[in-house]
A and B are shown apart, each in its own frame.
Chain A
Amino acid sequence: MQTPKTIIQKIWEQHVVHQEEGKPDLLYIDLHLVHEVTSPQAFEGLRMTMRKVRRPDLTFATMDHNVPTRQRLVINDPISKKQIDTLQQNCQEFGVTLADIHHPDNGIVHVIGPELGLTQPGKTIVCGDSHTSTHGAFGALAFGIGTSEVEHVLATQTLWQAPPKTLNVKINGMLGTGVTAKDLILAIIGKFGVQFGTGYVMEYTGEAIRALSMEERMTVCNMSIEAGARAGLITPDETTFEYLRGRRHVPQGEAFDKAVAKWRALATDEGAAYDAVVEIDAAEVEPQVTWGTNPGMCIPITAAVPNPAEKEKPNERDEISRALSYMGLEAGQLISSVKIDHVFIGSCTNSRLSDLRKAAAVVRGRKVSPTVQAIVVPGSYSVKLSAEKEGLDQVFKEAGFEWREAGCSMCLGMNDDIVPAGERCASTSNRNFEGRQGNGARTHLVSPEMAAAAAVAGHFVDVRQFTAQEVG
């Protein structure tokens, strides 16, 4: 009998081109996603060495990090414009398909890959972006790479990769009412730290994961990198297949059924061994808010900001004090008492149609607090259009939100969507690092529902109680 295997091992073995003692494996890459920030030096490298893109048909480019969200086509920053123009020229010169800012397929790379059906189970997917782990939601092995590796994939369609260790992140039981996929992944990182996934590919398993929609699964896998894991994935199932059926780049008709049979066989075998296992009880997870300067620094909405004096280790005390000082918070302060100045609903973590629907349901008939500036940035042009068809834009606008064009926007502020120094933002993005949303900006990561509720209340609030209240 064959040794039982994990989905991670199965995908790996299907992609090994070459193995040799003392070297990593040479791994074939099925899909290479490209954006404007991490690719110019890679294309330049090809030009200097007179190399071509080996498989333009497996390469797909978009522009997302720099694009403006107020007026889509007006790029005021000349350096941003140069980077965008450079991608345009590179794609033209090397024959790579590009969804530029004029194109209806344009959007955040990790939103459009799945939307277009480019992302599929069993594929190896890379992109010069750490949140490539998002695509793992489909049972793909997807990870972020640096620019040298981007050049390597462009030239060879392969990468030298040491086989990863496997980690089973087991979620027992079901999430409570009002608790989201974002809360789950934040709670996991909060419990096990920002480094527990380093060196591993994670597979998320358990009843609570099975119950998640595809978009919720993407939120979970997206933040695998915040736990240190380059990739995190979920075995595909009916939810996956139904999401993919009929999408543009997915096999159609009979070919789709054949593909599904192949995808089904990827499932981790009964009894397969992982290198490590961590477990979390879903019922214990509450809506989360980060209080510090990395995603592991998070607490339930019902809790108080930690007190460094209560920690034993001096470096732990220092770390907490430093974070509290940057964030302008007091030790022991209730997180629900923290007032906010900005709300950002968007990013490759939480900018899909279902995220916007859930946030809209919270704000419908309510008003954004007069002291809060709130924006919604859909993940793609297609998400924006679908949301507008449902009237979600009207719900947000009537409540006092700005309704913007698609892009990465305030998740990292490479365009002009920036949180000013010292101001505080409830953000549905993935990183609360110092200065991430703007120099001196204070970021608190939350779910779209929690962000929407905070926008209305002007401070953090438990969305579970908030939604139960009468609209007043």
Chain B
Amino acid sequence: MEPLRTHQGIVCPLNLTNVDTDQIIPKQFLKRIERTGFGQFLFYHWRFDDNGKPRPNFPLNDSKYKNASILVAGKNFGCGSSREHAPWAVQDFGFKVIIAPSYADIFKNNCVKNGILAIQVSEEQVQAIMKKAESEKYTLTVNLEEQIVFDHEGFEIKFEIAPYSKQMLLNGWDEISVTLGNEEKIKQYELTQN
């Protein structure tokens, strides 16, 4: 997994609440057996009409947000299905950071495992960023070490993150290797169960 320390990028606004993983990556695209190549299907039915033409009103189709790498969305982002194809699609499309007032638990976990930083800040802070991003091409910088998000005009907010998630992201650790460092303890536990 790629470490993530700081990131600067264009913000793409998605001003919707309860965005479920069925919207992020519709079911017909879950049949691939690889981890890659899902970006082209991200928000498929919101991005494209029934003839496969881009819907002009959807933010991801707006030239202003071309190459955006920070997605800002409403509360309970990523609810529903546990499909990790959702963060794979988000990442494969080019997003490295998501900002929202809250996330579904499984989605948030899945983000950490893939090196995506899911930042949780207040509803008001999200709306402030949303407004900026909706009105202009807006760039934010994220510093994970310091746990801050800021722009070049003096806007700055702090965010909270679980220490373990932070370490995983900063170091890009392979979690299984970390766990296997505790293999003796797993063995001992198994012995007590027999």
B-contacting residues of A (Cβ < 8 Å)?
17-18, 22-24, 26, 28, 37-38, 40-41, 44, 49, 51, 54, 65-66, 77, 79-80, 82-83, 86, 128-130, 144-149, 151-152, 155-158, 160, 162, 194-195, 198-199, 225-226, 228, 230, 294, 315, 319, 412-414, 421, 431, 433-436, 439-440
> Which of B26-34, B65-73, B151-159 forms contacts with chain A?
B26-34
Given A17-B186, A146-B113, A148-B84 in contact, is the A436-B22 Cβ separation under 8 Å? yes
A-contact bits for B154-179, CB 8 A (1 contact / 0 none): 00000000111000000000011001
A195 in contact with B102 (CB, 8 Å): yes
Known contacts: A17-B186, A22-B163, A28-B186. The answer to whether A38 contacts B31 by CB under 8 A is no
Contact between B76 and A230 (Cβ–Cβ < 8 Å)? no
Q: Which of these, A79, A128, A198, contacts B31 with CB under 8 Å?
A: A79
Residues of A within 8 A of B74 (CB): 315
Decide: A79 and B175 in contact? CB cutoff 8 A.
no
- CB-contact partner of B176 in A18, A156, A194, under 8 A: A156
Known contacts A79-B31, A83-B31: A433-B75 contact under CB 8 Å: no
Option from B27, B34, B176 in Cβ contact (under 8 Å) with A414: B27
A83 and B33 within 8 A (CB): yes
Interface pairs (21), CB distance under 8 Å:
A26-B185, A44-B33, A79-B31, A129-B82, A144-B82, A146-B82, A146-B84, A148-B114, A149-B113, A156-B179, A157-B186, A160-B175, A195-B18, A225-B80, A228-B105, A413-B27, A414-B28, A433-B23, A435-B22, A436-B22, A439-B26
- Bin the interface of chain B by size: 35 or more
Q: Contact at A38–B45, with CB atoms within 8 Å?
A: no
Give Cα A128 to B110, complex, Å.
Answer: 11
Nearest opposing residue in chain A for B87, CB measure: A146
Known: A130-B82, A145-B109, A421-B50. 20 other contacts (CB 8 A): A26-B185, A40-B33, A65-B30, A86-B33, A145-B106, A148-B113, A156-B186, A157-B190, A160-B164, A194-B18, A194-B76, A198-B105, A228-B76, A228-B105, A294-B20, A319-B17, A319-B18, A412-B27, A433-B22, A439-B45
Q: Is the CB of A37 within 8 A of B83?
A: yes
Contact of B80 among A26, A82, A433 (CB under 8 A): A433
Cβ B180 vs Cβ A155 within 8 A? yes
Known: A22-B163, A28-B189, A146-B110. A156 touches B75 (CB 8 A): no
Indicate whether B60 reaches chain A with its CB closer than 8 angstroms.
Answer: no
Give the Cβ gap from B182 to chain A, nearest Cβ, in Å.
Answer: 5
Assembly CA distance A152 to B106 (angstroms): 15
Which residues of A have CB within 8 Å of B33?
40-41, 44, 82-83, 86
Docked Cα-Cα span, A38 to B22, in Å, equals 14
B103 contact set on A, CB distance < 8 A: 198
